[in-house]
Amino acid sequence: MNIQGTVIAGDAAGFEGSPGPEQQWSLMRERLPLLRVEPDEWVRRMMRWHFSPETGSPFWLRRRERLDFDPLRDVTGVADLHLFGLFDKADLRDAAVRDLLPRGFRDREFRIVETGGTTGKPIRVIDVTRAINDVAIYRAMLEARGVAGGDAVAMAPSGPHAYGHFVSRLLNSWSGATFFIDFDPRWVKHLIRTGGDAGDYVAHLCAQTESLLEDERPSLLFTTSKLLLQLVATLPRPLAGYGVRAVCTGGTSCSPEEARYLREEHLGEVQWIDNYGSTLMGHALPGEPLRPGGSTTYHLPPPLSFIRVVDPAAPHREVAVGERGRILVNTLLEDLFIPNLLERDSAEATAPHPWFPWPGVRHVRPYEAPDAEAVTEGVY
């Protein structure tokens, strides 16, 4: 039942004849065949995987006993996931991480990754196949845009964080080198929460990155949009002057005004690939504006995950395209099943993008309400 993506080896110097960004979804489905599975069929597979005694995790097998429905019988497609109700992240925070490992993966190598702690105590989850899938998808996106290959500087956390692990695996897929800075995102959050000044630490991160850019001349730079804003303001010359062909960002949000500033004032011919996502939801792929003044939209790839924008007062109701609501995500991986997770962010619902034929979101920002979780974005 285990389905894995195959990452195809490539030349570290780059890839010729890129098909163009409009072909990236076709290329992703070619590289990762599970993306071709019809969504309702994938939901049924994941119910069998997570709720069968032979393959499910102790976490979900115990919870099955408390459900007032049978996931194997009653959940036959995406529309039935509402039966699980809203998922409480506190259940993951309190769980022993080995209870999250599916029995079907008992003999597989796995990695423990942690969230950034933006809304409180970090959450630990299991990664067996997720990074493999993410690399296949992301590499296909870079190839379609003509910027795969070469080395990278990662102005990003490593250690227990999924982001650094993902970047290393991606660069390894074409024998590229990854140069990491020394980066503890929780220290920045601690400084902000306690009223301290994070400026000196951010300057420390920028100085490390500038040194690596100068010495190694990478093709790619991985970071967050907030750090990118700080970095370009401190560098003595544009990123293209260091050999950078593309900047890949994710994690923290970026306002439309900040995005315009980066594109118009600093990036020039350097491609900017800005993803939205988190450790629990994965990478939402960017559908770039197709007209001047447009906004980037973000799309989670089905059937691995589904993103919706819902009415905060009635999370069972999706808002119309163009309306703002709170982001709700269903994650259906062999490693991790999270139904109906209300994310910390709000966004506007969007129609499908020509590159990605399913709905998405845009204008993402932290959700603000009297009952909302306290959010400390920091720089990651």
Residue 263 within a domain? yes
Centroid of chain to Cα 154: 15
Cis, peptide link before residue 303, omega less than 30° from 0: yes
- Which tens digits make up the pLDDT trace of 266-322? 999 999 999 999 889 999 999 988 788 888 999 999 999 999 999 999 999 999 999
Residue span of the structural domain in which 56 resides = 21-366
- CA separation for the pair 103, 295 (Å, rounded): 43
Residue 371 within a domain? no
Answer whether 380's CB lies under 8 Å from 202's CB.
no
Phi, psi of 10 (to 5 degrees): -150, 175
- Token pair 């994941």 is found at 46
The yes-or-no verdict on residue 339 having pLDDT over 90 is yes
Quickly state the pLDDT bin for 5 (edges 50, 70, 90). Answer: very low
pLDDT at 181: 94
- Token pair 């950078």 is found at 244
Nearest alpha carbon to residue 284 among 367, 373, 345, 221: 345
- CA separation for the pair 129, 301 (Å, rounded): 16
The yes-or-no verdict on residue 32 having pLDDT over 60 is yes
pLDDT at 11: 41
The yes-or-no verdict on residue 96 having pLDDT over 60 is yes
Q: Indicate the residue type of 268.
A: G
Long-range contacts of 74-78 (CB under 8 A, 24+ apart): 75/43, 75/44, 75/47, 76/40, 76/43, 76/44, 77/39, 77/40, 77/43, 77/44, 78/39, 78/40, 78/43, 78/306, 78/330
pLDDT > 90 in the chain, percent: 74
Answer whether 239's CB lies under 8 Å from 246's CB.
no
- CA separation for the pair 140, 355 (Å, rounded): 13
Tokens describing residue 300? 């989670």
The yes-or-no verdict on residue 9 having pLDDT over 80 is no
CA pseudo-torsion sign 178, 181, 184, 189: negative
Residue 374 within a domain? no
Q: Work out the average pLDDT over 25-52.
A: 97
Average per-residue pLDDT for the chain:
90
Long-range contacts of 59-66 (CB under 8 A, 24+ apart): 59/95, 59/99, 59/100, 60/337, 62/99
pLDDT at 256: 83
Tokens describing residue 109? 């190598």
Q: What is the CATH number of the domain that holds 221?
A: 3.40.50.12780
Residue 373 within a domain? no
Q: Work out the average pLDDT over 241-246.
A: 98
Quickly state the pLDDT bin for 222 (edges 50, 70, 90). Answer: very high
Q: Indicate the residue type of 60.
A: W
Q: Indicate the residue type of 309.
A: V
- Which tens digits make up the pLDDT trace of 145-176? 999 999 999 999 888 888 989 999 999 999 99
Number of domains in the chain: 1
Left, alpha or beta for 20 (phi > 0: left; psi -120 to 50: alpha)?
A: left
Residue 11 within a domain? no
Phi, psi of 211 (to 5 degrees): -65, -45
Judged by average pLDDT, the poorest of 119-123, 202-206, 310-314 is 119-123
Residue 62 within a domain? yes
| Burial of residue 84, with CB atoms counted within 10 A of its CB: 0-12 exposed, 13-18 middle, 19 or more buried | middle
Residue 337 within a domain? yes
Nearest alpha carbon to residue 179 among 115, 243, 130, 275: 243
Instruction: Return the C-alpha torsion angle 102, 103, 106, 108, nearest 10.
Output: -40
Residue 254 within a domain? yes
The yes-or-no verdict on residue 66 having pLDDT over 80 is yes
Helix then strand then coil, % of the chain, to nearest 5: 35, 20, 40
pLDDT at 372: 60
Q: Work out the average pLDDT over 100-122.
A: 88
Answer whether 252's CB lies under 8 Å from 224's CB.
yes
CB atoms within 10 A of CB 316: 11
Judged by average pLDDT, the poorest of 9-18, 238-247, 295-304 is 9-18
For the entire predicted model, the pTM comes to 0.90
Judged by average pLDDT, the poorest of 75-89, 244-258, 315-329 is 244-258
Nearest alpha carbon to residue 141 among 374, 298, 372: 298
